[in-house]
Every structure is written in C-alpha cells, then in structure tokens.
Structure 1
Amino acid sequence: MTAVTTARYETRTGGSRQLAGTGALLRLALRRDRVMLPVWVFIVAGLVLAMPGSLEQSYGTAAERADAMRSMNANSSMRALYSPVFGDSIGALSAWRIGVYAAILAAVMSLIIVIRHTRDEEETGRQEMISAAMVGRRAPLTAALLAALVANAAAGLLIAGGLAGQGSGGALALGLGVAGTGMLFATMAAIVAQLTESARLAKGLTSGVLGAAYVLKAAGDAGTEGGKSVLTWISPLGWVQNLRAFAGERWWVLLLIGGAILAQGALAYDLAGRRDVGMSFLPTRPGPAKGKLATAGALAWRLQRGSVLGWTLGFLAAGAVFGGMAEGAADIVGDNRNTRDIIQRMGGQSGLTDAFLSTMVGMLGMIAALYVVASVLRLHGEETSQRAEPVLANAVGRLRWAAGHLVIAFGGALLLMLVGGLGLAVGYGKDLGPILGACLVQVAAIWAIGGLAVLLTGIHPRAAGAAWAVAGVCLAIGWIGPALDLPQAAMNLSPYGHLPKLPGGGMEWAPVVVLLTIAAALVAAGLTGLRRRDMIS
C-alpha cells in the first residue's frame, strides 16, 4: 500500500488511526531516554539557576550592576557574544548572561530527541518492525515531539521555579522562552527528518540552522544596540533575548515562538503522511558504479570531512571574535574586582589581558572536547547501524577500521586548537607563538576525554553515550566553577583543571605528560576491548 493510498484510507477511517499507539511509543521513548533526558534537563536548568549567585558575587550593588550594563551595551563584541543588557537587576543580568545559551542547549537537546525517535529509528529498521503492529502513521512523530515537550517543559518549570525569587514574571518569561525555543527546533528537526534519509544528515542540517540563527543574532546585536536589528528579529534566538525577561517582559514575543512551532509542526505532520517508512523527500544521491575509496581510513575521512570542515570554520571564527575582545578586556571588566578575580581564576594570575586570553583558550579547549567525543562515537554509530559489517567482512581488521576514525577524531581536535589559536592571534594582532602554544597544551585534556570515549565504545558500547556527560561536566566545571569559586578539589575533577594557565603563566610539563599517558592508556584499553568483544547486531 503506497503512502498516498494509506493516507486516504486513514482519512476515511478516522484520524485516530493515524495516532494509534502513540502512548506506548511515548513510554518507550521516555524509557530509552531515562538517563539522557534528566541529564540534559539538569544541565539546561542548572546553568541558568547557578547564574544569580555568581552575579551577586560579581555585582553586589546597584551601582556596579548599572555600570556593568552600560559597559556591556557599549561593547559591540560583548553584545555579539552574549546579547544586549536590558536591565540592571540580578534577574535581568542572569537572562542576559545565560538565557540565549540555555535556549541553544534546549534546542540541541530537542533536535537530538526528535531525530533519535524518528529518522534514526527508520534508518536502523526498527521503525519498520514497530509499524507492522497497530501503530498509526503519525504516531512515531507525535511520540517524539511529546518526549521533547516533556523535557522542555521540565527545564522550563525548573527555570521558572528556581528564579521566581528574582521576579515571578521574568522567571516565567525566561522559562517559557527557553522551553519554547527547544520546541521550535524540535518541530524543525521533525521537518528535516522527513526530508532526509540519514539521521546524521538530519542532525547536521538542523544544527546548521541553529548555528546560522546564532550568527544572525550576533551580527544584528553587534551592529545595533537594543536588539532592534532586523537580523536579530530574523533569528529565533533573537526572540528569546527580545522577550526581555526581568526587564519589562514582552509577552507578545511568545506568540512568534508559538506560531512558528505550530506552523512547523503542521508541515512536519503533512510530510509524514505523504511518504513511506524509510523513504524521504530528498533521497540520497547514488554513488559511482566503481568505488574510489581504497582504505578504511579514506572511508572514515569521507564520512567525517563535512563535520571537520564545519568545526574548523567555527573555531576560526570564534577565535577571531575572542581575540578581538582581548585588547579591550580591561574596559569590559572595568573596576569590578569580583569580575577581575573570576577571570584570573579561569585564566591565571598574570596580567588581565593574558588571563582573558587564557580563559578564551580554555573555552576553546572545552568545546573541542565535544568534537572529539562526537567523532569517536561515530564508531559506535557505524556499528549499531550495521554499516561497519560490510567493511569488516572484507580484508579490514577491526583495529584498522577503528584507527581511521580515531585519527580523524584526535587529529581533528589538534587541528581545531591550531585553527582556533590562529584566529585568536589574528583577532588580537600579536603573540602568535604563545597563543598557539597555549592551545596545544589544551590538547592533552581533550585527548584524555576522547580516550575515555574510546574506552567506553570498546568495552561497554551501550554506555558510550556517557562520554557526552563527561564532556558536559568538564565544560560546566570550567565555565561556572570559577564564578562560583568552587574549591580546587572540585576544579581538579576536570582534566582541564590540571593544565598550566597559558599564555602568561609558567609552563608545567608534568600534568601534560600525565594526561597524554592517560589518554594513550585509555585508547589502548578501548581498542583491546573492541578487538575481543562481539559486534553489536
């Protein structure tokens, strides 16, 4: 029965048939994500709820907050990086500092959930078996969107409840803005999942739209104060900041978010009813009749080259932006002693400019850990999708197959830090050598986290996703820990806490060598496990 015939049949027999089995599929999705969803919700809400305490330490008086608001709004780089500041209360500064980034995390969480339970299920063949039972055509999509709604609602409620002390109206606006952005990208991912045949491509395209939204918002904010730029209003992330939580809320902006969610959801449902399971509206282009990839490494590069290129361009741009802000670091901080102390805890006790550069280098290093985890886990994805079996059925051993992906993962992390360092030096206008050296030091911690991902993939592949949690915890410790003045013991839980603060500080080789040794040992143990265990079928 074709998709059109089935759609007409379901229309005649009642729309309820199209949603048959939704409840069971939702329970299955929540059960499968019983670890991932709480972790994501905790990260999204926790980052927001930790911000008021940090800001109270940095800007304890109304005068300090007003001065910070003026200096931030006067700096185009800071407006591009964070957004304009619309109020000088602790709540308004919290929304300024973390609101857009919390919305980005909610968007990433949502697109992962929706694609995981739609296109990924079809790509692995599980959806075809499920659809053989009493399951409606649109039930899988509905269950996926409901799972995303549960996660976003939980994050939004935690944010609204946790910030209610700063002002109930602002807390509700920020919670709804973050949750609404998550659902907006959930419905966008639902559309892309109908258009593409590959879960990887669906995630990449939706992530690309998210990245473009951030670039549009940043460009608009940098060029015009007050969030009035057309570019800012084109971006969904610009809608979150223009809600103006804790600064005279614009509740009507929620109508834009809600309208976009409904329009995208309607389009996704329409597309879902017009195609067969496993098919797409943009089919994959067939390859050449005669293959040109002679090695497993060449195949790995073909699969990951787009990701490497995207990350590389992103690091170059981010480095240039951060470098351009370094010269004005003193102006950004002003006379606020607490903010100066936070930057120095993150970047070392050298001069403020060097401490700022060291902080930016550390941020690039922590973000690069996300790349290395994603690239290593590509091994797990190839295995679970059974694409690895045809490769290993030839004269290709497991170690050689894995080595192709690992070279790209670890070598790509090194490339990212070099490119990021180059961007920093270009933006700053000097000190190329010291900045590149500081970036290279970060590679030891990045590779240690990548080694853990290899270990989990090789020994216990079903727990490989825990590497994301480790990278996220390290990012949270490095980002929020200095602002909360966490004890050194807590900071040392992250491998980045052991690295020397460069540029400006003294070089310490011992922690770098230890981390590289740990990384090598983890990779060796992971490859040994991969060689000995059964492949997932």
Structure 2
Amino acid sequence: MSTLTGTRHLARLILRRDRVLLPLWVLVLAVLPMTYATSFFELFPTAADRAAYATGTATNPSIVALLGPVYGDSVGALTAQRGGFLTLIVGLISLLTVIRHTRTEEEAGRRELLGATVLGRYAGLTAALTVTYAANLLLGLLTAAGLAATGLPAAGSLSYGLSTALVGVVFATVGGLAAQLTETAGGARGIAVGVLGLAFALRLAGDTAERDWPSWLSPLGWAPRIRAYEGERWWVLALPVALTVLLGALAYPLSVRRDLGAGLLPPRLGPAHAGGGLSGPFGLAWRLHRGALLGWSVGFGLLGLILGGAAEAAGRSVEGNAQLEEIMARLGGSSALAEAYLGSTLAFVGLAAAGYGIAAALRMRTEEAAGRAEPLLATGVHRYRWLASHLLFALVGPVVVLAVSGLATGLTYGLSVGDVPGQLPRMLGAGLAQVPAAWVLAGLAVLLYGLLPRFAPVAWGVLVVCVLLGQLGAVLELNQWLLDVSPFTHTPQVLGGSWTATPLLALTALAVLLAVTGLTGFRRRDVPTI
C-alpha cells in the first residue's frame, strides 16, 4: 500500500464538507481586488490625482503598516497596495482550513476511524494541503482574470494574483506543520496564528523603517515586493515556493513519528483537582473562551492603534477630489474627512467583532459535536444555564473587543490632533455603536444552533454578505433595500452630525428575539444532534 493511498477520496470528502464555505471565500477574495481597481479608475481619473493620493499614502506610516508599501502611482500599483491586507486574510483562512481537516479530525476521533481503512500514512495531510493549495491557486487565477478585465496589464495582474495565492500556500503548510505539534486543534491554531502574527509584525517593521530587511524575512512582505504593475520581479515568487517545500519537508516526517491523536509537544498537565471556578457552567465557559477573547482583544487593540494613526493623513490624501470626498462622507457619515475615514473603518471593525460573536456562539455546536455537552447536561446542569454560559461571551465579547479598538483608535487619533481627552470618549462611543449590529449576527448563530444545528455555520455566510454590502454597497450605489439587509446599515454614525438611539434599541431587541428563540429551540430538541 502506498503512503498516499486514499488521498483522492479524502480530498473529495473535504470538498464535499466545504462545498459552500470554500467557494465562498475564494470568490469573495477574488472579487475585492477587482472592485478596488474599478474604484481607483473612477475616483482618480488623472495622473495628478493618482500621484497626490500615492504620495499621501506612502508618507503615512500607519497606512503603510496596514496595507504595505506603494511602488508607483498607476491604478495597478494603487490597487496592489490596497489589496495588501487581503494577503493576511488569505493566510489566516488557509491555515485554519488545513488545521480543520487534519488536527481537528484527529481530536474528534474521525481520523482514527478512517485510518482503520485502507489509508496511507500521508493521505490525510496531503489531501488537506492539496485542496487548500488548489483553492489558493484558483483564487490567484480568478484575481488575475478579474483585474485584467478592468483594463489593468495582464502581467501585473498575474503577478499580483500569484503572489496572493502563494502567501496562502505558505500558511496552509504552516497550518499542516502546526497540526503535528500539539494534540489539540486550539493549540495548533494558536501556533499557526502566532506565526502569522510574527510575519505581519516583521512586514510592518520593515515597511515602516528606513531599511526594509525585516520585510524580506516575512512571506507577507514578499507579496508587495514583486512590484506588480511597476516592473514585476518574478524571481520573488521563488521565495514562497522554497519556504513551502521546506515546511512540507518538516511536516511530513513529523506526521508519522507521533502517535495518532498525540502531538510532538507534550501536553501541559493540569492540576489534580479543579479550582472553584470550574464548579459551574459559567466557570467552564470562561476557561474555554478566555484565550480567544484575549487574542481578539489584543488584535483589535493593535488594529485600532494603526487606524487611529492613519486617520488624519487619510483625510488629507483625498482633499480636492470631490467624488472621493462624497463617497467617504457616505461611508462615514461625517463632514470631516478624517472622521469619515474613522467612521468607515470602525464599521469594518464592527463586522470583525461580529465574527467573534459568531465564533463564540458556535462554540456550543463544537462542544456538542465533540460529545462534551451531553455528559454535562446529564448532570444537574440545566440546558438554559449551559447555553447562557456560552451566550454570555457571544454578547460580552463584541463589547470588549470594540471598546478596546475604540479606545486605541481614540488614543492615536487624539495624539495626532492634540486632543486625547476629547477623542477617547468619542471613538469609544463610535466603536460601541457597532455592538447591537454584531449582536444580531451572534443572535442569528444562536437561533440556527438552537433550531437547525446542522445549518449553524450559515451564520458565517450571512457575515460575508454583510461584509460585501458594507464594502461595496456605497461605492457601487446599490439599492437601499439591498443595503438594509445588513444590520450594520442601520447603525447610526455617531461621528459628526446628529443621531438617535432608536436604531440601536431596535437592533438590540432583534438580537434578543433571535437568541431567545434559539434558546427555546435548544430546550426542545435532542442532544446531541450531529
């Protein structure tokens, strides 16, 4: 029997399980760069406009830290920089996909059942990597085709698409390696995301310093240095390919030198006796959610520091361009361009916070599917208490991360304008204004889990729809009824102008209704429902 026996069948199983999620993220991430290019063609029709915008972004450290460097003032160069943050998202999705189909399968016991059949030693890892590699390459080709369709040069479009795809390939392999190191999926995700964070930190340090050598140590730094549309350097593509081969050469031997279900790193043994905090469902929920809450809070804080520091320069960079000023004002709802920028970015942060709320709510589904919920509910723990313990973090978590982001944004923006005491409460309020909309999506996840647990992941699809409407709705001037589908459309813009609390109260009431309906459905259905 070959070491790869059964790889094709496992790949088909992965494709079937991800038949909705995988095409969704590939298509969404492929379309976004095309919309960026279309917007730049419309908003900066002259070379002078583009040069002024490129100069403004290139000289602002916060914008460069978030998006990466810009190597020219053509529409292609501006599009490549604007899509720089997408490489981070591609890397994150890729590593999570591989871990989901390797270490998570082992932790759930399904890998052992499959291993009892005719299955080669390398089949599981190879299938997960093959599917993820193929998805990234398809993403790269679709991205290149979409950019070329907007009128950008084909060579630059292909180089940008391939650079984005290869970042995903690298971090997919990072996920495959991390899956061999720990015995839990959470530990593997922590290691892989930590590597991704280190890569982002190196890219940030190099792009904002006089010497950019730290960026050359990061796969996220290699992508912009291909210089798409500005004299492509094709040889840079060899760097992620070489790193992928190296990481794969480490992951494959490790995958067969450990016991099934175990990791190479020894697990940390817990205390012999549980502390008082684990005597109830809320203490257990805190133990399960605290790591994610801390990680999201730190990430949102760093993002807020960058966004706040970029606000003033972002406002200055569009002065004199009436069309862009109009769109920024529509997105942010403020007469001041800097505050319009902050309004639009905080709205995007609110969407990310909704992602945390969905993840926290769906932790209940994970616990049930893994068989850990049923033993708890067989004791004196009431269903309502168990569900409420996780629901608490789905509701409180977005409040915490948005408060951290708002405070961090207010701090750096206040420092840039010399008014920290005045800007801190304003940005905190603007961040917290996104909470009710995030609660609606968390409530939807609870509703689906309580009534139709098999379809609970559909909540992620709803979030993607909200992201598309928020990012593209104003630019494409979509019909208002379509924009109203997203709860974030109804969030009042508290930065500048007048606003009322009525939409916030309505969104909160809707979130409560969804959550209560889900709780009632969970009370009446069987557990587990796999």
Shared fold, TM over 0.5: yes
Number of the residue aligned with 1:124: 108
Q: Is 1:196 aligned to 2:182, yes or no?
A: yes
Task: Show the 5 A alignment for 1:130-529.
Answer: 130-164=114-148, 165-224=151-210, 229-292=212-275, 293-429=278-414, 430-529=422-521
Deviation at 1:422, TM superposition (A): 1.1
Equivalent-residue separation in structure 2 for 1:437 and 1:105 (angstroms): 27
Is the 2:365–2:449 contact (alpha carbons within 8 Å) kept by the matching residues of 1? yes
CA displacement 1:206-253 (0-9 Å, x = unmatched): 1222222222212321223xxx51221122111111111111111111
Identical counterparts, % of pairs: 45
Equivalent-residue separation in structure 2 for 1:279 and 1:437 (angstroms): 46
CA displacement 1:51-73 (0-9 Å, x = unmatched): 11111121111221122112211
Equivalent-residue separation in structure 1 for 2:141 and 2:245 (angstroms): 21
Equivalent-residue separation in structure 1 for 2:424 and 2:272 (angstroms): 47
Task: For structure 2, list consecutive stretches of 5 or more residues without a partner in the other structure.
Answer: 415-421
Deviates more, 1:283-292 or 1:39-48: 283-292
Task: For structure 1, list consecutive stretches of 5 or more residues without a partner in the other structure.
Answer: 1-15
- What amino acid maps onto 2:102 in structure 1? T
- What amino acid maps onto 2:293 in structure 1? V
Number of the residue aligned with 1:4: none
Deviates more, 1:42-51 or 1:446-455: 42-51
Is the 1:243–1:254 contact (alpha carbons within 8 Å) kept by the matching residues of 2? yes
Is the 1:160–1:172 contact (alpha carbons within 8 Å) kept by the matching residues of 2? yes
- What amino acid maps onto 2:311 in structure 1? A
Is the 1:45–1:102 contact (alpha carbons within 8 Å) kept by the matching residues of 2? no
Is the 2:4–2:119 contact (alpha carbons within 8 Å) kept by the matching residues of 1? yes
Deviates more, 1:484-493 or 1:279-288: 484-493
Is the 1:75–1:332 contact (alpha carbons within 8 Å) kept by the matching residues of 2? no
Deviates more, 1:101-110 or 1:441-450: 101-110
Q: Is 1:536 aligned to 2:521, yes or no?
A: no
- What amino acid maps onto 1:222 in structure 2? T
Equivalent-residue separation in structure 2 for 1:303 and 1:505 (angstroms): 42
Deviates more, 1:140-149 or 1:340-349: 340-349
SS in 2 for 1:50: helix
Is the 1:113–1:147 contact (alpha carbons within 8 Å) kept by the matching residues of 2? no
- What amino acid maps onto 1:160 in structure 2? A
Equivalent-residue separation in structure 2 for 1:271 and 1:455 (angstroms): 41
Equivalent-residue separation in structure 2 for 1:353 and 1:183 (angstroms): 37
Is the 2:70–2:81 contact (alpha carbons within 8 Å) kept by the matching residues of 1? yes
Is the 2:167–2:223 contact (alpha carbons within 8 Å) kept by the matching residues of 1? yes
- What amino acid maps onto 1:272 in structure 2? S
Task: Show the 5 A alignment for 1:36-55.
Answer: 36-55=21-40
Equivalent-residue separation in structure 2 for 1:403 and 1:147 (angstroms): 37
Equivalent-residue separation in structure 1 for 2:42 and 2:500 (angstroms): 31
CA displacement 1:66-117 (0-9 Å, x = unmatched): 221122111222111211111222222111101x222222222211221121
CA displacement 1:122-174 (0-9 Å, x = unmatched): 11111111111110111011111111022112111101212224111111111
Number of the residue aligned with 2:66: 81
Q: TM-score, normalised by structure 2?
A: 0.94
Equivalent-residue separation in structure 1 for 2:342 and 2:145 (angstroms): 36
SS in 1 for 2:263: coil
Number of the residue aligned with 2:13: 28
C-alpha RMSD of matched pairs (Å): 1.6
- CA 1:488–1:222: 2 relative to 1, 3 Å: farther
Is the 2:334–2:495 contact (alpha carbons within 8 Å) kept by the matching residues of 1? no
Is the 1:22–1:142 contact (alpha carbons within 8 Å) kept by the matching residues of 2? yes
- What amino acid maps onto 1:342 in structure 2? I
Is the 2:316–2:337 contact (alpha carbons within 8 Å) kept by the matching residues of 1? no
Equivalent-residue separation in structure 2 for 1:326 and 1:146 (angstroms): 41
SS in 1 for 2:3: helix
- CA 1:328–1:414: 2 relative to 1, 3 Å: same
Q: TM-score, normalised by structure 1?
A: 0.93
Deviation at 1:35, TM superposition (A): 0.9
Deviates more, 1:251-260 or 1:284-293: 284-293
Number of the residue aligned with 2:418: none
SS in 2 for 1:327: helix
Equivalent-residue separation in structure 2 for 1:157 and 1:324 (angstroms): 35
CA displacement 1:395-454 (0-9 Å, x = unmatched): 111211111111112111111121111112211223222222222221110100110111
Is the 2:36–2:79 contact (alpha carbons within 8 Å) kept by the matching residues of 1? yes
Equivalent-residue separation in structure 2 for 1:484 and 1:263 (angstroms): 43
Number of the residue aligned with 1:12: none
Equivalent-residue separation in structure 1 for 2:444 and 2:504 (angstroms): 16
Q: Is 1:106 aligned to 2:99, yes or no?
A: no
Is the 1:347–1:502 contact (alpha carbons within 8 Å) kept by the matching residues of 2? no
Deviates more, 1:107-116 or 1:377-386: 107-116
